[in-house]
Structure 1
């Protein structure tokens, strides 16, 4: 008789980066508080009235830094978001038209917004496979896109799942050592199966002299099977930058990326990625084109199956018309809304915590879940974990009661993170976005309810990307747009706020 107990692996221990400074003020607010106090004391030597004149405006300027939302934004950031939205509306930048009758140069259908200046080129890796390279000239960034077909978690032993998760962790840790890598994105796209591939495989094989009953059965299968099935695609984008002060030709960058692709693909396959391969320029263009116009998904599959390719070029990947509103983004035959992550699952979770969120959602045209990873170099990682460790120990020794109990849990988590980082684990910042596309504006309310139910099952907290729906929609496309690279305020200053 065996007395062994089966333990299911759990995961977690992610921590939100601690904001430097005093309480909720942040580093800038802390300097403002102490600077205001010193200035007030100096002015009070002259008169109390002058001190009041100084301290009252200072308080009005510092109070908005203390009031924060659940995801850490202060009042100044909320006001800046609204001002930016009003300016875009005043300039008419929230609308977009393309094509021969538009004002776009060349009369093409270039992607709008953050992709308006992006160019596409193509190279070949060590196995002579074509891969597309997206160049973002504004930030001088280069993006490659990898496609994989994960094995999935059905009928898989927990030990195998644990091995895949460990291999995925090693792959992410390796990204910290990738020269000039700015970030990576994992995008899982689901959509109802249009049935085009099944029809192209089955219907040409039906013989004319086959029995009528057999032909009727096969035709009925082709008609009814797609209504109960869905298609799923997984894309991984890797975005690289150029070192400051270094000038390199595009051909040199493409050649260097070609040498890195085989090693990156080998790591993905070991982490359960299944069949992995780089995406060509034409395939990337097709994915973006279908995202803007979901109605042509079946036509793209049909043309590719019949002719081996569509011949689409990057200059024709965008929509004919698009309109951004406060809470939605209308583009060709679809209307989309994007949600942003505000709170990751607390405590420990199982390996299937995001399974429901990744699966196809009923009543939607397309759904994309994008996981953003920002690798941190080993030297910076060591400083961050040590700073978190000291801060957690300080909170544990200065609190009482329930606060002290929660601080003790923080100390334990910080100690574990420091030990794992010292053992060679990588430190990665991550976030998540969810984009849902429906047919009309009236269906967005049902889509919001669907996302609310999915986030509850995944133990996530999401908020709509209001007043920046167009940019958020672009970020969930497999084109390598990293949100932290496109902010007007530098990243260092944002962390200080």
Structure 2
């Protein structure tokens, strides 16, 4: 019977990186080669004291690299670099954003700050004639479409069906690595207090004029009775396409070409989500939908007004009105309009196996928070590169285990995972880089000492290790929005170089 089907276990998650000697990154280990040559040259010339001095300094420097604080996984240099970069930005005034008629924007608009400042939002029709909004980031040649889903959840769903939904979601992600042009996928689950406007409209619209006074009293009492502390949960999925052409320069293919291509592919992308647990009412967000939920993210205090305006015909807001009037980035939090947010990001995933419901506590509503977003960022590895990636991981795990006479259980497990990943990739499985961003938006910073204990404890149940996004809270805040921001595409160093260091 279906009730006897056990829950599947999942795992085989490996942190990207090239391991060197003594567990250091390969790039750091290679820096020690010229140091060894210098020490040997000193010893050949009988410069023993200077050689010992160099060795002592090197040991101290490498110790600062290898010793990482358990709470955030950062070493001394990483923490200092983040703090120094933030202080320099504060001195230049780059941490402040003031928009509007009296702000610094030339046209007096409240555009999105940071990486999304040059973005454009246009409206188009798919191959079935349904409207969808398309976010264009011309500088990176990225085009993003946002889907709103209505998941069924796992209540009253047997385990066999849950296993099937997870398998279909894995196949969906694997297909993004095969599909041409998809460079990023993000899933955002947002929880917030329900305003009660939808329930009130539903009850009032269904009230019969000829009903009794008692029935009218019951209907009028329902919104106030059932709205108390009830959460509103929304789930959105952003798919980002690359607009680079096939020429050597990778020039932008253009808005019209990409809109036609995405519009033709959109019905298939939506239809393939039905068996993943996303529900059967998946739809593409219109341009107005994207503007409205983005404005609400930057100023949650207007959520009820925006919801009311949408019910009465629309807000009339444009993309240039979706950003904040004021924003200030601090070291570990981010002020924006009449709210303040703090963002954490994952720095280490589950080391062992985990079940299908480990993220449920983290996705559940948290009291005292205006809005909480949990965003899982996926970057599919193209099928043509997957084979070389798994082979490199096998070589890396083998080298890390060979540096010791007796490899640790963790190193043996990593080698076994790498070999299993190679076997699954050969059978058609896809490879995906992923990360998790958690954003909590509150009315004041006084809530953060409590959340600094609650949020990590919820992630510990999911066997995740998270840390605050020090010095880049504004960027992490935007990464947690379902707007298709692929952070790796905006860094100066490619993945191969970052894996070495």
Q: Which residues of 2 match residues 307-346 of structure 1 at below 5 A?
A: 307=313, 309-346=314-351
The alpha-carbon distance between structure 1 residues 255 and 69, as it changes in their structure 2 partners (threshold 3 A), is: farther
Question: Considering only aligned residues, what root-mean-square deviation do their CA atoms show, in Å?
Answer: 2.5
Alpha-carbon distance, 1:389 to partner:
2.7
Instruction: For residue 27 of structure 1, report the CA deviation from its aligned partner.
Output: 2.8
2:121 matched residue in structure 1? 120
Find the partner of 2:464 among 460, 464, 481.
460
**Correspondence 1:360 to 2:365:** yes
In structure 1, how many angstroms separate the alpha carbons of the residues matched to 2:413 and 2:494?
33
Determine the structure 2 residue equivalent to 1:111: 112
Closer, same or farther: CA 392–45 of 1 in aligned 2, 3 Å = closer
Which stretch of structure 1 is more off in the superposition, 19-28 or 94-103? Answer: 19-28
Residues 30, 230 of structure 1: alpha-carbon distance in 2 compared, 3 angstrom cutoff = same
- CA 1:428–1:92 in 2, change beyond 3 Å: closer, same or farther? same
Q: Say if 1:342 and 1:462, in contact at 8 Å, map to a contact too.
A: yes
Structure 1 contact 24–65 (Cα < 8 Å) conserved: no
User: 2:156 maps to what in 1?
Assistant: 155
Instruction: Pick one of 486, 489, 496 that aligns with 1:482.
Output: 486
Shift, 1:429, TM fit = 1.1
- Choose between structure 1 and 2 for higher RCO, CA contacts under 8 A separated by at least 6 residues: 2
Q: Report how far residue 57 of structure 1 moved.
A: 6.5
Aligned partners of 2:197 and 2:318: how far apart in 1?
22
Specify every segment of 5 or more residues in structure 1 that has no aligned partner in the other structure, as ranges.
none
1:229-258 residue CA offsets vs partner (Å, 9 max, x unmatched): 221111111222215513322211221111
The CA deviation string for residues 239-293 of structure 1, in whole angstroms up to 9 with x for no partner, is 2221551332221122111122122112211212112111111111111100011
Asked if the contact 1:123/1:131 (under 8 Å) is kept, the reply is: yes
Structure 2, unpaired ranges of 5+ = none
The match for 1:235 is 236
After TM superposition, list the pairs within 5 Å mapping 1:75-474 onto structure 2: 75-207=76-208, 210-241=211-242, 242-243=244-245, 245-247=249-251, 248-274=253-279, 275-307=281-313, 309-393=314-398, 399=404, 403-474=407-478
Q: Is the 8 A contact 1:191 1:231 kept in 2?
A: yes
Distance 1:264-1:69 versus aligned 2 partners, 3 A rule: farther
CA contact (8 A) 1:386 1:418 kept: yes
- Judge which range, 155-164 or 464-473, deviates more: 464-473
SS of the counterpart of 2:361?
Answer: helix
Deviations 1:197-235 (A, max 9, x none): 111222244355543322221111112222242211111
Q: CA deviation at 1:139?
A: 1.9
Verify the 8 A CA contact 2:19 2:396 in the aligned structure 1.
Answer: no
The normalised TM-score by structure 1 is: 0.92
Residues of 1 paired with 2:145 and 2:230: CA distance? 30
Cα offset for 1:89? 0.6
On the 8 A contact 2:14/2:414 being kept in 1, the answer is no
Structure 2 contact 374–439 (Cα < 8 Å) conserved: yes
Q: CA shift at 1:430, angstroms? A: 0.9
Deviations 1:334-390 (A, max 9, x none): 211111112223322221111121122122111100001111123432222223334
Q: Are the aligned partners of 2:378 and 2:435 in contact in 1 as well (CA < 8 Å)?
A: yes
